[in-house]
Amino acid sequence: MKAIFKREVDSYFHSMLGYVFLTLFVLLGGVMFFMNNLMMMSTSMTSFFSSMVSWAIFILPILTMRLFAEDRKTRTEQLLLTAPVSLPEIVLGKFFGAFWVFFCAIIVFIFYPIVMNFYGSLPVAETVSCFIGFMLFCAAIISIGAFMSSLTESQIIAAVSTYAIMLIVMFMSSISNSIGNEALASAINWLSPIDRFYDFTMGILNLESVVYYLSLIGLMLFLTVRVFEKRRFS
C-alpha cells in the first residue's frame, strides 16, 4: 500500500493538478477566513468551516476524478491488477494519496485560529470539533469521488457524477422538508452528510456522527474494491 500511496502522491505533483488544487483550496480558504473572521472580528470558526464545506463539494471532485479513471484510460490499470498487491491495498493507497494532498492544503487552516486568538478568547472545543468534522466530511467526498472514478475511464464523467451526488447531498434537507411523511423526512435528515457536519459546529464531538462518516467512507471504498474485483475476473 505504501508504494501505491507514494505513486499517487507523486503523480499529483508531477502534473499541474496537485498545484492547481492546493492553490485554489488555500486561496479560497484565505478569502473565507478574511470574510468570516477578520472582517467580522469573530474568533468563532463555525462560519468559516461552513463556507469551506460548500466549496469542498465543488473542488474535491477535481482531486478525485483521475484516481482510477486515468489508469483505465492509459491502460495502466492492468499493471495494477496484476501487481503483487491486494485490491484493498490499491484502493486504500489511492484514497490516502488523495487525502494526503487535501490534508496538505488544510494545514494552512491551523494557523487561522492562532491568528484569531490574538483578537479574543478562542472557543477551542468548537474549533477542534469543526476541524475534525471538516476532515471527515471531505474524506467522505474523496471516497465517493474514488468510487465514481472507478466506474469510468473519463475523468470528466467521474467529476460530473461526483458533483451530481454531492448536489443531491446539499439539497437533502430541502427535500426532507418538502416530504409530508415525518418518518421518511427524519430518515433523509439522518442520512445527510451535511447535517451531520453541523453537529460538529456546536463544539460537540458526536461519536455517532464520527461512526457515520467512517461507515460511509468504508462503504464507498468497499464498493470500489468490488468494482475492481469484478473487472479483474472479467
Mean pLDDT score of the chain, rounded to an integer? 86
Cα–Cα distance measured from residue 108 to residue 26, given in angstroms and rounded to the nearest whole number: 7
- Indicate whether 220 pLDDT > 80: yes
What does the DSSP 8-state code read for residue 108?
Answer: G
What is the grid cell recorded at 98? 488523495
What is the grid cell recorded at 226? 468490488
Over residues 164-202, the pLDDT tens digits come to 988 888 777 777 767 766 777 777 777 778 888 888 888
Buried b (16+ CB within 10 A) or exposed e, 18-37: beebbeebbebbeebbeebb
Asked whether 108 and 26 are in contact (CB, 8 A), the reply is: yes
Over residues 119-144, the pLDDT tens digits come to 778 888 889 999 999 999 999 999 99
pLDDT of residue 135: 95
Over residues 104-124, the pLDDT tens digits come to 999 989 888 888 877 778 888
First to last CA, the chain: 24
What does the DSSP 8-state code read for residue 120?
Answer: S
Nearest to 62 by CA among 23, 106, 35, 33: 23
Cα–Cα distance measured from residue 233 to residue 224, given in angstroms and rounded to the nearest whole number: 15
- Indicate whether 234 pLDDT > 70: no
pLDDT of residue 29: 92
Question: Between residues 231 and 91, which one has the greater pLDDT?
Answer: 91
Across the range 45-50, mean pLDDT stands at 90
**pTM of the entire predicted model:** 0.91
Exposed (0-12), middle (13-18) or buried (19+): which is 93, by Cβ within 10 Å?
buried
Asked whether 55 and 24 are in contact (CB, 8 A), the reply is: no
- Furthest-apart CA pair in the chain: how many Å? 61
Cα–Cα distance measured from residue 144 to residue 124, given in angstroms and rounded to the nearest whole number: 30
Exposed (0-12), middle (13-18) or buried (19+): which is 49, by Cβ within 10 Å?
buried
Cα–Cα distance measured from residue 71 to residue 174, given in angstroms and rounded to the nearest whole number: 38
